Amino acid sequence: MKNVNWPRFAARLGIYCLGLWVLALGIALSVNCRLGVSPVSSLPYVVSLISKVSLGTCTTVVYTVYILAQMVLSRKFQPALLLQLAFSTLFGWFVDAAKLLLGDFCLPTYFGQLAMLAASILLIGFSLVLYIDVKIAPMPAEGLVGCIAEKTGKPFSSMKTLFDCTSVAAAIVLSFLFLGGLDGIREGTVLTALLAGRMMGVLRKFIGPWIQKVCFGE
């Protein structure tokens, strides 16, 4: 700890938290546009509708299950999981705050909804660059995917696709069982799955060098 560059660590932590806030805004926009939430948010969203508990709280609960799954798979407790739990709780608060900030705001017409979806995808891609590139801790979903990839020897990208598809499938099943129909899964879910990662790649070219300079002096 004596060799820690505290100003740079503070910058990393601040950028990480900013990334979580931007992600929360992107999720809130995806909910309000009513064209379908992102794959990683589909399960917490449906659980929120079923339980009548806030989306932020349900997100934290689902993420906690992902953390427990990592412990089961790795067969040991890793201190880094405490960071995931802390940031998951913070992220849950951010999601509820973002929803409170936006209220029921939704642009009229389908094209207005598409514009909101596009803004959501842009924010999600931007947030991924911020909180991934500072290299503090993965969010629980990504941590679980990484754990599964390590155990199976499969590429992270393949496991991420499988994980997202499984999350969406679970959300669809729960929606039909408890809500009597499909809710929260629409064309926006597919578009976010296809475009958010690509948006991250594009934005990383512009933001990545700045993050490396501020956080790591490179």
DSSP string, 74-91: HTS--THHHHHHHHHHHH
For residues 116 and 28, the answer to whether their CB atoms sit within 8 Å is: no
C-beta separation of 210 from 126 below 8 A: no
Measured CA to CA, the distance from residue 142 to residue 129 in angstroms comes to: 14
DSSP state letter for 44: H
Domain extents in the chain: 6-216
**Is the CB of residue 127 less than 8 Å from the CB of residue 40?**
no
CB of 4 closer than 8 Å to CB of 91: no
pLDDT in single tens digits along all 218 residues of the chain: 557 788 899 999 999 999 999 999 999 999 999 999 999 899 999 999 999 999 999 999 999 999 999 999 988 778 888 999 999 999 999 999 999 999 999 999 999 999 999 999 999 999 999 998 998 988 999 889 989 988 898 888 788 888 888 999 999 999 999 999 999 899 999 999 888 888 988 998 999 999 999 998 86
At 172, give phi and psi (nearest 5°): -65, -45
**Cα first-last separation, the chain:** 21
Q: How far is CA 124 from the centre of its chain?
A: 8
Q: Which of 155, 213, 217, 211 minimizes the C-alpha distance to 15? A: 211
Q: Are 16 and 136 in contact (CB under 8 A)?
A: yes
pLDDT value, residue 83: 92
Give the pLDDT of residue 218.
Answer: 65
